[in-house]
Chain A
Amino acid sequence: MSEMKKNLKGFSTFPHDTIAEIQRSAREGIYQIRGLGAKRKVPNFDDLVFLGASASRYPLEGYREKCNTSVVIGDRFAKKPITLDIPITIAGMSFGALGANAKDALGRGASAMGTSTTTGDGGMTPEERKSSKYLVYQLLPSRYGMNPDDLRKADAIEVVVGQGAKPGGGGMLLGQKINERVAQMRNLPEGIDQRSACRHPDWTGPDDLEIKIQELREITNWEKPIYVKVGAARAYYDTALAVKAGADVVVLDGMQGGTAATQDVFIEHVGIPTLGALREAVDSLKELNMHRKVQLIVSGGIRSGADVAKAIAMGADAVSIGSAAMIALNCNADMYPEDYEKLGTAAGYCHHCHTGRCPVGVATQDPELEKRLEPELAGKRVKNYLATLTLELQTLARANGKSDVRNLEPEDLAALTVEAAAMARVPLAGTNWIPGHER
């Protein structure tokens, strides 16, 4: 049989996973809901390379010659902007989507590196506020757990218009993850499937967002930086509108960004890759003369210090990691194979956050499974990962002659593919051709 299979021709349009999905739909009659981000390949930072040093450009020595990584976030209007030691933050992920141990670990790791974590669609937990040196508090359409005391306890406030995994979609948490504590925080009956609204309840549009931001500033005495987060859709216009609405910071989440649960079609087919959206957002800031005055934080598929360096070279002020942080915690780690199998998946393929049966105890509320994630050890892993990203970032910056990572610029880059050259507006390597260069 396997001899014969070698010579069989498969279908490009209907590969095995597509066949399996169509047959699942025929059985179940409803869309597939899953976690994490887009699985398919899209143009990304791998398609860009740095030029490095040469006869005309000189590198910095690796250890003695400093390479600054700190960044000030939110100094446009806020009385108390945040100074991050590294330009890498932890993206918004809810308590509910993740377990308490996971949130605790993220806080420990981020704080050890002098950076921030972000709450998600469930509100702020006291544990999270305790373990995070800097905590960004999200204001989402659902307003689960929203209250003025937490608003004042936060270091920054992030108004969520959308996220990369589902620009236009609201939060979702299935019943199996709505235990007593989550239900109580979100004011929902236990065990139901949470459907969140996709629009804010008390404003629609940047003109009314401006008034909402004013209210948030009045409640917090104008102290906290206000971020506006958008999924990568029309990044050029969205960035301009966030600026006009009075944001201190724009957070841009590309299509590779993850989620704890949403429809697979949403994840794979809505939103544009981080690479293209980033270039649009920076163009918009530059045209408004707001580049570096309104900070831009970019997320969606950031994996290594190379991704961080390239994002900053293209004009971002910082990046945010979500899926990568979860992976540092142990998401998709090669352990507990029987439990992956019970879910119908395997390490390296798992996207089953929505089930609440996370084999490694990260995206679950089940106390038995949560025991598999020890906060102190996991926090150490997050810290190590962030430290590695930072060292990689500095290595690349020094190689390009920069004593401050913020001095990385688009001219330090070349593209390996035509798509990446067009999206990033960087010449194709070995040429000075930039395809598709037209607003």
Chain B
Amino acid sequence: MCGIVGIYLKNKKYNKQLGKLLTGMMNNMASRGPDSAGFAVYNKSSKFKYTICLKENYDLKDLKKDLKNKLSNTKYKLIADHVVIESSSKPEKVLPNIKKIKEIDLVGYGKSIEIFKQVGNPKDVVKKFSLDKFSGSHAIGHTRMATESAITTDGSHPYSTGEDECLVHNGSLSNHNNLRRTLIKNGIEFKSQNDTEVAAGYISNSLKNKTSLKDTLTNGLKDLDGFYTFITGTQKGFAVLRDEIACKPAVIAETKDYVAIASEFQAMAHLPDVNKADIYEPKPGVVYSWGS
């Protein structure tokens, strides 16, 4: 069980404060998700960005050595134990090279997205990655209370579901084990026993087959069993879906400057002008999206 948050800025004047706003939301959701945390910030770049996580005993120096001469126009940004690699090389060329290096994990990639996640109390995790210094157009975040799988970074959200796309989830699926086995047969790889990772695999499998995100989520209502509020981040914004029983909470606050979503209103209580915002709850079984 968990806390999920998201914020989409309609007004560019808040772009530089995106990280600060999200930090406030994440800190507030730490009590319902004390085990681990993660966030995806969207900041459009002209080049592709690849966020990777360095495993133990492997550092930026090693990474630069292993990728030497393999990618063009490359910049490296080190943030704690994550590195954002910016390169004009296309994903078809970069991803296989990244996959070859066993000492790193690819957390996410795209022209806009940067994903960071880690085990630990959310308040510590956001500090570690200096989230308050990030800027961008939109972001989603997650604080985790592990239910049936281990507390590891692999078990943390957001999960990357494709280029510039990711997923966070509050709830508990009930048919993920069978679904995982089916997806493995379709070539999707899994690193954990986490149910959300299965939902992410389901979404990326569907998007790979050229189904739209909206149709994918709508099909998900049938194919994914259990309780969920999903937020999927996309290059242009984010989408929200609650299952038809809708027991897991979700509140949306919308002003002329932003749209924010969170598991509890408390996470949004500090957002600018939130007392004048239009506050409502997404209806069950309906896909809501902003920015696309």
Contacts and interface: CB of A to CB of B under 8 A. Distances in A.
Interface of A: 199, 204-208, 210-211, 234, 237, 240-241, 244
Contact of B34 (A204, A211, A244): A244
Nearest to B171: A205
Nearest to B34: A244
A237 B170 CA distance: 17
Contacts of A211: 32, 264
B28 to A, nearest CB: 13
Contact of B2 (A199, A207, A240): A207
Interface string B237-279: 0000000000111000000000000011000000000000000
Nearest to B264: A211
Contacts of B263: 207
A244 B145 CA distance: 8
Interface of B: 1-3, 31-35, 145-148, 170-172, 227, 247-249, 263-264
A211 B170 CA distance: 15
17 contacts: A199-B247, A204-B227, A205-B1, A205-B227, A205-B248, A206-B1, A206-B145, A207-B1, A208-B32, A211-B264, A237-B147, A240-B146, A241-B1, A241-B145, A241-B147, A244-B34, A244-B145
Contacts of B227: 204-205
B269 to A, nearest CB: 15
Contacts of B147: 206, 237, 241
Given A211-B32, A234-B148, 9 more contacts: A204-B247, A205-B171, A205-B172, A206-B147, A207-B2, A207-B33, A208-B1, A241-B145, A244-B145
Nearest to B33: A207
A109 B81 CA distance: 61
Nearest to A439: B150
A241 B2 CA distance: 11
B12 to A, nearest CB: 34
**A205, A207, A211 interface centre (most CB from chain B within 10 Å):** A207
A207 B247 contact: no
Given A199-B247, A241-B1, A207 B148 contact: no
Contacts of B32: 207-208, 210-211
Contacts of B145: 206-207, 241, 244
